[in-house]
Amino acid sequence: MNEWGKKLRIRLPAMLLLAATLLFWGLYDRYALDGDVLLESPALADATRVRGDCTGTNGHFRLTVHEDGKMASINFRLPGASDFRMIRVRCRIRTADVVPGKYSWRCARLLLTQYDANNKWIPGQHGLVSQWGTGEWSFHQEVFATIPGAAHADVVIQQSGISGTAEFDSIAAEPVRLKKTFFVWQGVFAFLWVGMAGLYYRRCRLHNRRLRLLILLNIFAILFGTLMPTVVIQKGTDGLKESVAKAIQKRSQSKPAAAPETTIKKKPVDHDVHETKRIDRFNEAVDGAHVAGHFVLFSSLCFLVYLSAALEGQHRSYYFKVAFDILLFAAITESMQNLTLDRTAGLSDWLTDVYGMALAFGVFLVVRFFMRNVLKRH
């Protein structure tokens, strides 16, 4: 017990800085208003487009999809949105028995969609919230970058699930800019965390680990992914999605027409729908890469640290201490996302890291059993 107390005291500075990081960035608003509010508690009469069963009173909207499955949606045009670099959108949402469709976008959601001068939708980050099932009121907000070439933008609320009801209120959109003090605080916390890294490199004896090179490379990969701005990630994924979509469409168009059937009649195939489904499946896989990255990187880190400990002949209690350190490191890296321009910490990402660690521990036990009982026989 005394040894665990000593270990906790050694890690106390990192734990205190972690708490300070989460508390400060949880309360600090990095954005300031950059102009007049574009939309605030609109009425149904303010909508530029209404589809399906939609009702609204006093800024509260109710969108219902019946058994026929006809989508319900409302568009609100944001005047002059293209004149600003960033727009913050917020709302509250509640769902009742929303049955999702086959694809992730078939649910209740709020979007900021942007269009070019020809009124063509511009792909990019546009989703604020997606929800299905039954849930109580929850508040959501997100800051979106204005896409170059966008002529106008719409806030869109929709229920595109198979059935169910979605309610929205407190809908607002406003132009924002980063405060100058953000960069000051960003530098302060970055300096503190760099200093903390130097301190714990020695305290945790990383320089003495048998697999220190692989462990450090894994840590740098995690930090690189943690500090990369969303806009950079989004540009890469959007470019990949667009390239694959064009390739699928080109391949479909280049296929020769099938010979006419004279004896057997087959159900005609809607090639456009088939293309869309293939593109949607690929897009969902790309969007899931973020979660996969968390899972894989922390799985590999945990496995390497455990394997290094086994090669060093560490005591069993060491593995529990290491697990605590990796959990702490996962929380620290998640909190450091607040230092980026457009990312914040999330509990779901930390839980994904934990699941990855659990898998790594299981794999390590299998490998250690193999090393002890199989290799020694030979």
For 57-126, the DSSP string reads ETTEEEEEE-TT---EEEEEEETTGGGSSEEEEEEEEEEEEEEP-SSTTSSEEEEEEEE-TT-PBPPS--
**Is residue 323 included in any domain, yes or no?**
yes
130 conformational bin, left if phi > 0, alpha if psi -120 to 50, beta if neither: beta
Q: Are residues 204 and 277 in the same domain?
A: yes
CA 32 to chain centre: 24
Q: Are residues 124 and 202 in the same domain?
A: no
Q: Are residues 201 and 336 in the same domain?
A: yes
Q: Are residues 163 and 245 in the same domain?
A: no
Whole-angstrom Cα distance, residue 349 to residue 355?
A: 10
Amino acid at 233: I
Whole-angstrom Cα distance, residue 378 to residue 371?
A: 11
Quote the pLDDT of residue 217.
93
For 129-166, the pLDDT digits (tens) are 889 999 999 999 999 988 888 899 999 999 999 999 99
pTM of the model: 0.73
Q: Are residues 292 and 360 in the same domain?
A: yes
The DSSP output letter for 268 is P
Whole-angstrom Cα distance, residue 153 to residue 82?
A: 7
List of residues 6+ apart from 250 with CB closer than 8 A: none
List of residues 6+ apart from 125 with CB closer than 8 A: 144, 145, 230, 234
Q: Which of the residues in the chain have pLDDT under 70?
A: 1, 229-290, 374-378
Domain closes at, from 144, 178, 212: 178
- Indicate the average pLDDT of the chain: 83
Q: Are residues 290 and 167 in the same domain?
A: no
Task: Tell me which residue range forms the domain holding 74.
Answer: 39-178
Q: Are residues 327 and 352 in the same domain?
A: yes
Q: Are residues 65 and 190 in the same domain?
A: no
For 327-372, the pLDDT digits (tens) are 999 999 999 888 887 777 778 888 988 999 999 999 988 888 887 7
**Is residue 265 included in any domain, yes or no?**
no
Quote the pLDDT of residue 98.
92
Instruction: List the structure tokens of 42.
Output: 């609109």
Quote the pLDDT of residue 27.
92
Collapsing DSSP to helix, strand or coil, 130 comes out as strand
**Is residue 258 included in any domain, yes or no?**
no
Whole-angstrom Cα distance, residue 109 to residue 168?
A: 9
| Residue at token pair 């009121």 | 137
DSSP H helical ranges for 140-270:
180-203, 212-227, 230-254
Q: Are residues 246 and 337 in the same domain?
A: yes
**Is residue 357 included in any domain, yes or no?**
yes
